[in-house]
Structure 1
Amino acid sequence: MPPASDSPAMTPAEHFSPASATIAVVTYNRSGLLTRLLESIARMDPKPGHVVIVDNASTDDTADVVEAHRDLVGTEIVYRRLDTNTGGSGGFSEGTRIAYELGSEWIWLMDDDVEVLPDGLAKMGKWAPRFKSIQGRRYDYDGSEFYWQYRIAEPLGIPIPFAPSGFDASGYKEMNSGCFEGMFIHRDIVQQIGLPDPRFFIYWDDQTYGWLASRLTTSVIVDEFVLRRTREIKQWDMGIRHMNASSDAYRYYIMRNRAYIKHYYRTLGVYNPILFGLGTALTFAKELVRLLFVERKVRGTSNLFRGLRDGGRISRDALWRPMTPLEA
């Protein structure tokens, strides 16, 4: 466990400068949601040094929305429109790269369907002197506390769905995962593990990135509400957590991208074929449950099988290499 501070007399304010942080947002054809996010950033106190917006080749008025908010946000906006839709994975990879090249000490990653609470950065900065990979808490669309699966069963490569939700007096819990809906990560960790892997396109990318970070530093989720989700998603209420509705594209990538996790596991020497295969089978079963109980349909299973098929080809690629560290 890293020490709480270098000296008992030091305070968080002496260690963390809000201007050293960059919010990196990925958006795609959701200018209305992006507007809400930018308006929430305008209300922040303190504000980050930069806001990076990566536009995944939107065809709506996203560019106009960004321009309309340049003078309203109160901090510098860096807008990057990609030529093609690279998915969330590609967008966060590009957003992290831009933030890193801006010299940002801290990079706060988020989707366009959240808004930042006014004191969100102050709350995250409070923990910055102690940790280098931090996840804050979120309110759901309806104002309830959103439960995020912060622990993964490493041999299986899947989240633990009912990891304890409560916090003790320390105000944090160690995690070995990550979520790009609010990941707050230090440039030192980004430098060592490289950029988020754009090959995932969507799904498992943030879990894998957070897992890689946790192998280098003590990663934590802190008992601080810093974001609020602004998009309502059809859900199945399971008590401590919810199961969201999905899509055919998600079903495909959920299964295909198991192959990328397998490659990372092999590279880092933690791959157990039996246990990882069990994790894949459990993932497949969970997606069947999602179809039946959340979306209430049976069509869509073909996308799971296609993902497994294409994942098999990826896992046999002898030329595959992980993302490389960045130059300091």
Structure 2
Amino acid sequence: MAVTETFDPSTATIVIVTYNRSGLLTKLLESIVRMDPKPGRVVVIDNASADDTGEVVASFRERLGAELVYRRLEENTGGSGGFSEGMRTAYELGSTWMWLMDDDVEVLPDGLARMGAWAPRFRSIQGRRYDYDGSAFYWQYRLSIPLGIPIPFAPADFDETGYRAMNSGCFEGMFIHRDIVQRIGLPDPRFFIYWDDSIYGWLASRLTNAVIVNEFVLQRTREIKQWDMGIRHLNASSDMYRYYILRNRGIMKHYFAAHGAYRPVRFFAGTVLTFAKEIIRLAVVERKLSRTSIGKLFSGIRDGRTIARDRTWKPMPPLEPVPARA
């Protein structure tokens, strides 16, 4: 689908999801103060934080330079639930573009201008990020759909076009048009964390030419332990993430099946590879092959099978049309 309208920064909304990290959120909001141009709105979804997040947001209301909308949820719904609520809020406010990000990044001053330069051509756009140390952050932007896993070594270089096609997504920087959001529906909060943005990006790529562009627009502000393998990194994780990495493959199965892309044997092979990757992460990056951590992997597999066998399970529905407005 061709895009013809000229990009207007005031029609863009930055959607931030935060949880008990007011210090990081402060850095992100400070970076938005420095932006030129600025978005029309900033939506902050607070996943029931117990720290001073509400006070931090209030302190920026007069100085942000954009309309600030704050929603504090009654319980922690994970990144998936937070981005689902944030996108719903932005959509109902009439935002044309929604720029999603976690609280552990900063926006570069010209970030919105760089993303907006591609808006007349594409409707699902991913910019690039600097890592905590200033190096280019590596992200696997291609999925093997039959296996249901990222392709490990998708080319990281760009040609003269300045972009590459992608069939995945990352909520740390996804820039998406409301028309695509309306047709896909909201991000699925049932993921809680992990695979939610990959599936959402895949759904977007089925409707439009989804791309990652050679534009650095974000900088990570939180250091994560990594194993540097030269051509890519493997990050440290947590037992909670390990559980959802495997549990949520049951949800992935339903989405692939709903769109005729589920291949049982190859998807099972992808689950085996995912399990093996997490064992490597434990042994090499975190150096703790504990019974608790390995148990989380098996619990995730067990609960994922239960979800996969649920015949009442349905994907998220499209949204009702709401007129866009500035």
1:142 maps onto 2:133 in alignment: yes
Deviation at 1:263, TM superposition (A): 0.4
The one-letter amino acid of 1:66's match is V
1:325 maps onto 2:318 in alignment: yes
Distance 1:89 1:65 in 2: 23
1:31 maps onto 2:37 in alignment: no
Q: Equivalent residues in 2 for 1:1-328 (5 A)?
A: 15-299=6-290, 300-328=293-321
The one-letter amino acid of 2:251's match is Y
Distance 1:263 1:281 in 2: 18
Deviation at 1:275, TM superposition (A): 0.5
The one-letter amino acid of 1:202's match is I
Distance 1:85 1:55 in 2: 8
Distance 2:95 2:302 in 1: 40
Distance 1:72 1:129 in 2: 30
- Over 2 Å off, 4+ runs: none
**TM-score, scaled relative to structure 2:** 0.97
Instruction: State the superposition RMSD in angstroms.
Output: 0.9
Ranges in structure 2 where 5+ consecutive residues have no aligned partner = 322-326
Deviation at 1:71, TM superposition (A): 1.1
Residue-by-residue CA offset, 1:52-76 (whole Å, 9 max, x unaligned): 0000000000000000011121111
Deviation at 1:146, TM superposition (A): 0.6
Count of aligned positions = 319
Distance 1:23 1:128 in 2: 15
Residue 9 of structure 1 aligns with which residue?
A: none
Distance 1:204 1:70 in 2: 33
Residue-by-residue CA offset, 1:141-177 (whole Å, 9 max, x unaligned): 0000111100011111100111000000000000000
**TM-score, scaled relative to structure 1:** 0.96
Distance 1:144 1:63 in 2: 32
Identity of aligned residues (%): 72
Deviation at 1:19, TM superposition (A): 0.4
Deviation at 1:278, TM superposition (A): 0.5
Distance 1:188 1:109 in 2: 16
Name whichever of 126-135 and 14-23 sits farther off.
14-23
Residue 324 of structure 2 aligns with which residue?
A: none
Distance 1:282 1:114 in 2: 30
The one-letter amino acid of 2:134's match is G
Distance 2:246 2:69 in 1: 34
Distance 1:165 1:50 in 2: 32
Distance 1:161 1:79 in 2: 37
Distance 1:17 1:256 in 2: 40
Distance 1:108 1:238 in 2: 31
Question: SS state of the match for residue 298, structure 2?
Answer: helix
Question: SS state of the match for residue 324, structure 1?
Answer: coil
Distance 2:149 2:265 in 1: 14
Distance 1:113 1:100 in 2: 23
Distance 1:242 1:26 in 2: 25
